[in-house]
Amino acid sequence: MLPPAKDFEDLIVWQKAHKVVLSIYRLTSTFPKSETYGLSSQLKRAAVSVPANIAEGFKKRSKPEKARYYNIAQGSLEECRYYLILVRDLGLGDPGRIQDDLQEVKGLLGSYVQKVRSS
């Protein structure tokens, strides 16, 4: 069993979500300039929201507060999932690997939320 996390950076779910953000930044750097303030901006904003809300929720003291931030992260994760579908359908890139990584974060985050609520 892993020792309890001392910092949000110790959380595997945060580490994986951060990795997704880095991948999304790399992907959006290949988008046409016309997407700078459109899809590129929206996708990056939603992606950054996932690990940011995990980090913020980590320090909240009450279970409902923690769960609220993790739920916001879950919502942002779904928003990213949609934007990546749009990226694929518009032919702006192949987000396949990022979509797989998002699914992993989704599972980890769901488990983490359940653990927080039941602890």
**How many CB atoms lie under 10 A from the CB of residue 108?**
18
Give the burial class of 4: count Cβ atoms within 10 A of its Cβ; 0-12 exposed, 13-18 middle, 19 or more buried. exposed
* Predicted TM-score of the model (pTM): 0.94
Note the pLDDT of residue 1: 65
Model pLDDT for residues 52-75, shown as the tens digit of each residue? 999 999 999 999 999 999 999 999
Q: For the chain, how many structural domains are there in total?
A: 1
**Mean pLDDT for the stretch of residues 78-92:** 97
- Is 77 inside a domain boundary? yes
Among 23, 27, 8, 29, smallest CA distance to 73 is for 8
Domain that holds residue 74: 9-118
Structure tokens at 52: 């940011």
Mean per-residue pLDDT over the chain, rounded:
95
50 domain residue, yes or no: yes
In a domain, 4, yes or no: no
CATH number of the domain enclosing 39 = 1.20.1440.60
- 21-57 pLDDT tens trace: 999 999 999 999 999 889 999 999 999 999 999 999 9
